A = this chain, B = another copy of it.
Amino acid sequence: MTEDTLPTRRQLFEMIGKAGGAIAMYQAMTVLGHAAETQFKGPPMLSGARKGASVLVLGAGLAGMVAAYELRKAGYKVQILEYQDRPGGRNYSVRGGDKIVEVGGATQTCQFAPGNYLNPGPWRIPHHHRTLLHYCKQFGVELEPFIQLNHNAFVHNSKAFGGKPQRYKELAVDFKGHVAELLGKSLNTGALDDKVTAEDKARLLEALREWGLLDKNMAYAASLRVSGQRGYDRAPGGGVGGAPTPSAINGLPDLLDSHVWTQMNFYFGYVMQTTMFQPKGGMDMIGKGFAKQVGDLITYNARVVKLAQNGKGVTATWEDTRTGATATASADWCVCTIPPPVLSQLELQAGDKLKAAIRAVPFSPQCKIGLEMKSRFWEENYSIYGGHSFTDQTIGLISYPNDKMHQDGPAVLLGAFANEANGLILAGMTPEQRIETALQQGAVFHPAEYRSEFLNGVAVSWPRMPWILGCTSRWTDENRAAHYQNLVALDGRIVLAGEHASYYGGWMEGSLLSGIDAITRIHQRALAA
């Protein structure tokens, strides 16, 4: 059965109903409907570890720390080597006083006010990332809502509306209105009579009339009813002058210019759907939560330069990044979470297939820029509370803080989240140029305030972070088919873990699920060895 010929759920239920009766059918509906939102089945049950068995974990990001935490719990002797002077890896928040040194030497010292931060890496948590939510709860990491979909934020397309940003709600409501009107016209002229039964046609017309807010002639036209979704020219009020007036609608050609379906679909992405979360106080609260459990196992400032293995164990040679002194660490097994762009550059004793896989994983060059502003003008002046305003410029979007809404004092806007080619453009600039670019481009949304409210900024270009040289894995179908299983397979006594060793690339959930899978297989192999 190929994807294209999969039965509909109704067909499946009918098949199951015939086969097993009502109870089987209900169970199947449950499974098909909602039970498949995660591969997480609770923390791994590793029992019977051999006395004295040891594991060396390379990297104190989430994959490495979850591996270390669960392995120690299972009875293994664990040591972690970490390149940086802090736990968490990309689970990271930049705060006032933090220093960022790039490949190439550019150095920034963050000037944010106390309590303010930028999450340069992960910044949002889907409700179905059960592994991450499990450990957040277990380790007492407090979460708060991350506002993803904001109907009142802007969409900017330089080729639409004369380059003026539009409110998302206006474009999205108008798009569905025009789609409904056109489909209604087609149905009414009989164009789809061979596709839709007469009964369904009548029901679909009624659905389109309601969904698209069509009038009695099945037309999408400006009215108070339509304004009840897209907003009014004059909003409803109280007393004598309380009556609202409708807003005008956009025509189809303008909507086609706007490409608003890109945002409409973005919000429908399974990993982007409401409800989403962020840790209170910064994303690094998660890394710190893990480090409270395994911090005693971590050697910081330890840059691994060589990873060797033989039939009995592994040995990592590492350099102290502060002194240049080298040392070694040995164990029976190794969980290596060093990101492929760095791992590919060190001396690794492993098979050709694994080495080829490490070289094959594409890494993306994201750049995020934090802009600290004097006040939350986007809240008071624009009624925008959290969420994103999208643009087709290099910065990609600006995003509004989800914490401390309605409060006074300086706040940090995400001034850019640039992907792919845009990330590379920003990587090619100095930090100052990146911030200037963010100010120039972001001003399209808030022209009156963007310069005058600006205090300071910080720009994190992931390809320029020496400890990772990129942001996240971006497997294509083709290179995944060729290399993924080779990347995750045990190579002698070494197993890789991290978001790149998962199907949730770029998500903390992928790191954790990968770490759990890696140690489950290490444990099985260790028991069998």
Contacts and interface: CB of A to CB of B under 8 A. Distances in A.
Contacts of A161: 29
Interface stretch (A70-78, A300-308, A453-461, A506-514): A506-514
Interface string A244-284: 10111111111010010110110011100111010000000
A409 interface: no
A8 B262 contact: no
A347 interface: no
A181 B443 CA distance: 38
Nearest to A510: B238
Contact of A234 (B39, B133, B236): B39
Given A192-B182, A227-B270, A501-B238, A256 B10 contact: no
A343 to B, nearest CB: 17
Contact of A6 (B175, B186, B248): B248
Nearest to A186: B186
A143 B144 CA distance: 13
A273 B152 contact: yes
B39 A238 contact: yes
Given A224-B3, A249-B9, A256-B207, A242 B383 contact: no
B143 A248 contact: no
A355 interface: no
Interface stretch (A97-105, A111-119, A164-172, A291-299): A164-172
B9 A238 contact: no
Contact of A256 (B192, B204, B230, B265): B204
B237 A39 contact: yes
A222 B252 contact: no
A321 to B, nearest CB: 29
A185 interface: yes
Contacts of A242: 39, 488, 501-504, 510, 513-514, 517
A285 to B, nearest CB: 13
B183 A239 contact: no
Interface stretch (A195-203, A309-317, A424-432): A195-203
A7 interface: yes
Contacts of A142: 406
Interface stretch (A30-38, A361-369, A433-441): A30-38
Given A149-B274, A222-B3, A383-B128, A235 B39 contact: yes
B211 A164 contact: no
Given A186-B191, A231-B36, A513-B239, A503 B252 contact: no
A274 B128 contact: no
Given A9-B251, A169-B273, 9 more contacts: A6-B222, A8-B250, A150-B274, A182-B196, A207-B259, A229-B270, A239-B501, A242-B504, A277-B385
22 contacts: A3-B223, A3-B246, A12-B248, A13-B162, A26-B164, A33-B166, A33-B170, A39-B237, A39-B242, A133-B406, A145-B386, A169-B268, A182-B187, A183-B186, A211-B265, A229-B270, A237-B503, A237-B513, A238-B510, A238-B512, A239-B514, A242-B502
